[in-house]
């Protein structure tokens, strides 16, 4: 299995098992956010709050005849509406739970081997629509490719 995909899938599955996180977003933890057509354009078809996969990059990190990858990947948290969702509080809560769930954990990969995973960066921002609060949580993992 392709290591970047396997790592990100394992991370999503781990997030789906975290009660404090599912208390906020329910089952809305996506690889690809559901979409619908509106006026000839695809738009997200999901209610706030939710989590989705963001960008991923990989750099070869081979050593002593072992093929390795350093994978940097992003988890995005999205929130808008009233109450805690109006301010950045809910997006910050999502970011905190995602960080706690994945930093330093052991993820069981079925083909490749996770060496380590660490939280690198969290950004909380308001998107250009002026309504959507966006949490960007970035991790770096070392994966031994099998």
Question: Per-domain residue ranges for the chain?
Answer: 3-144
Q: What's the pTM value of the predicted model, to 2 decimals? A: 0.94
Q: Model confidence at 97, in pLDDT bands (50, 70, 90)?
A: very high
Residue 64 pLDDT greater than 90, yes or no: no
How far apart are alpha carbons 26 and 69 in whole angstroms?
32
Nearest to 137, CA basis, from 13, 9, 11: 11
Residue 44 pLDDT greater than 90, yes or no: no
Residue 133 pLDDT greater than 90, yes or no: yes
Question: DSSP class of residue 109?
Answer: -
pLDDT at position 63: 85
If one looks up domain 3-144 in CATH, what number appears? Answer: 3.30.2000.30
* Tokens standing for residue 59: 């750099």
Tens digit of pLDDT for each residue in 108-127?
A: 999 999 999 999 999 999 99
């Amino acid at each position: 299995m392709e290591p970047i995909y396997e790592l990100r899938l394992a991370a999503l599955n781990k997030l789906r098992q975290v009660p404090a996180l599912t208390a906020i977003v329910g089952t809305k933890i996506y690889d690809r956010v559901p979409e619908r057509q509106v006026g000839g354009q695809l738009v997200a078809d999901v209610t706030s709050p939710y989590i989705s996969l963001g960008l991923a990059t990989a750099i070869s990190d081979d050593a002593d005849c072992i093929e390795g990858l350093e994978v940097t990947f992003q988890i995005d948290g999205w929130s808008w509406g009233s109450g805690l969702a109006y301010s950045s509080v809910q997006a910050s809560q999502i970011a905190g739970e995602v960080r706690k769930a994945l930093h330093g954990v052991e993820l069981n990969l079925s083909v490749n081997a996770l060496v380590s995973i660490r939280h690198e960066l969290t950004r909380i921002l308001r998107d250009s629509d002026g309504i959507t609060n966006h949490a960007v949580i970035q991790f770096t993992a070392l994966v031994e490719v099998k």
